[in-house]
Amino acid sequence: MYLITVFGNLLTILAVSSDSHLHTPMSFFLSNLSFLDICFTSITIPKMLVNIQTQNKVISYEDCLTQIYFFLLFAQLGDFLLTVMAYDCFIAICHPLHYTVIMNPLLCGLLVLISWVIGALNSLLQALLALQLSFCTVSEIPHFFCEFKEVIQLPRSNTFLNTMMYFAVGLFGGGPFAGICYSYSKIVSSIGGISSSQGKYKAFSTCASHLCTVSSFYCTVFRVYFTPAITHTHTQVQQPQ
């Protein structure tokens, strides 16, 4: 499944880069999202596969923090890119005559660059805060990788730092979600003003795939972080002596 994920996303990137008809803002964002998907799975799944093969579930303290940093980075970037793609749909449906002027290559590149910068800074902040937490020499995480939520819930963690981390994640996660909701509220309002059913269908088909992706992304986030789960997989984190 990991190889299918990697090759599938590589084919998407290759198709977008090789076909001139796909040199559009949405395809550009989609290729970036595919690249993030490769990175996102590559920071957790290979380590899990090694653990399964060796029957050893131990990860070093440094590797755990590194995994947290890149996990948060790529998750944040994916969130921002979905927001940018929602903005692209908003411009395409609500301002079609100005679409090519507004969504020019310079703006598209700038939006992706800003997403990378904000994501990197936020992930660095979380990693630095995690360094201030007090862990036992050997800690056990009920997960197959160093998942941020599980790490900061370890017994000897600092309550204030935990609160700060959750606030930062909520801010940088809730902000893009609010942007997506705002874009789609305008899109729905604009589609409602179209008189013909064919026009409504064409407008809806423009953002249907993106809406499915957003729904899948946020349903997974809400399922993981806002509902209780019973897990039996544990990873041991060894802190340097």
Q: Is the pLDDT of residue 232 over 50?
A: no
Would you state the pLDDT for residue 113?
A: 94
In a domain, 229, yes or no: yes
Mean pLDDT for the stretch of residues 212-238: 69
What confidence tens digit (pLDDT) does each residue in 35-55 have? 999 998 999 899 889 888 888
Mean pLDDT for the stretch of residues 212-230: 75
Higher-scoring residue by pLDDT: 56, 107: 107
Segment among 12-26, 92-106, 135-149, 206-220 with least mean pLDDT: 135-149
Number of domains composing the chain:
1
Would you state the pLDDT for residue 96?
A: 86
Would you state the pLDDT for residue 235?
A: 60
In a domain, 97, yes or no: yes
Residues of the domain holding 97: 60-238
Higher-scoring residue by pLDDT: 135, 31: 31
Segment among 63-72, 76-85, 133-142, 232-241 with least mean pLDDT: 232-241
In a domain, 118, yes or no: yes
Q: Is 76 within 8 Å of 172 (Cβ atoms)?
A: yes
In a domain, 47, yes or no: no
Output the average pLDDT for the chain.
82
Mean pLDDT for the stretch of residues 211-226: 80
What confidence tens digit (pLDDT) does each residue in 149-197 have? 777 776 555 666 667 767 777 777 788 888 999 998 988 888 887 777 7
Would you state the pLDDT for residue 80?
A: 92
pTM listed for this prediction: 0.82
What percentage of residues in the chain have a pLDDT greater than 70? Answer: 86
In a domain, 23, yes or no: no
For residue 165, give the CATH number of its domain.
1.20.1070.10
Higher-scoring residue by pLDDT: 117, 159: 117
In a domain, 28, yes or no: no
Q: Is the pLDDT of residue 4 over 60?
A: yes
Amino acid at 62: E
Higher-scoring residue by pLDDT: 90, 149: 90
Amino acid at 197: S
What percentage of residues in the chain have a pLDDT greater than 90? Answer: 25
